[in-house]
Each structure stands twice: as C-alpha cells, then as structure tokens.
C-alpha cells in the first residue's frame, strides 16, 4: 500500500484520481490520518466495515450493561448498610 502525505494531496488533487488504496499520513506529526479506498472497491469493503461497526457497537453496549449492573449491585449493598 502506498502512503500519501496531506500536503502532497493538497498540492496535487489529481493524485486522488490515480489512487486505488492508500494510506493518508501527516508527515509532520508522523501520524496516520486514515485510508483512502477507491469507489470501485466499495462493494468489497463496505460489508466488512459494516460488520466491524456492528461488532464495536455490540461491545460498547455489553460494557455499558456490565457497568450498569455493577452500579445496581453497589446501590443494593449501600441500601443494606
């Protein structure tokens, strides 16, 4: 996969037309900002992204439920004292 700098894309917007898949980096901060995927690969990538989003949301809901269960358990203990 090729890496593209933010300033490179800003100075040559035509790079986006030539890209298939690329990593967008901020070379000054040495940080990856994201990835560019051409629309022609969207049908392959979109189901995977949706599955990952769904799994992340379910994990967050489970953590929230566990946290709420712990709060309710603490409230029950506090009421007895």
Query: Quick check: 80 pLDDT over 80?
Result: no
| pLDDT (tens digit per residue) in 8-26 | 888 998 888 888 888 999 9
Global pTM exceeds 0.75: no
| Alpha helix (H) residue ranges in 1-81 | 6-11, 15-18, 42-80
Which among 24, 53, 52 has a CA at the least distance from the CA of 36?
24
| pLDDT (tens digit per residue) in 36-78 | 888 888 888 889 989 999 999 999 999 888 877 777 666 665 5
Identify how many contiguous H helices and E strands the chain contains and give both numbers. 3, 3
């Amino acid at each position: 996969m090729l890496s593209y700098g933010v300033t490179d894309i800003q100075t040559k917007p035509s790079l986006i037309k030539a890209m298939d898949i690329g990593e967008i980096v901020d070379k000054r901060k040495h940080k990856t900002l994201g990835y560019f995927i051409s629309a022609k690969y969207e049908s392959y990538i979109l189901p995977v992204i949706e599955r990952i989003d769904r799994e992340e949301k379910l994990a967050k809901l489970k953590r929230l439920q566990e946290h709420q269960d712990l709060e309710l358990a603490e409230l029950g203990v506090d009421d007895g004292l």
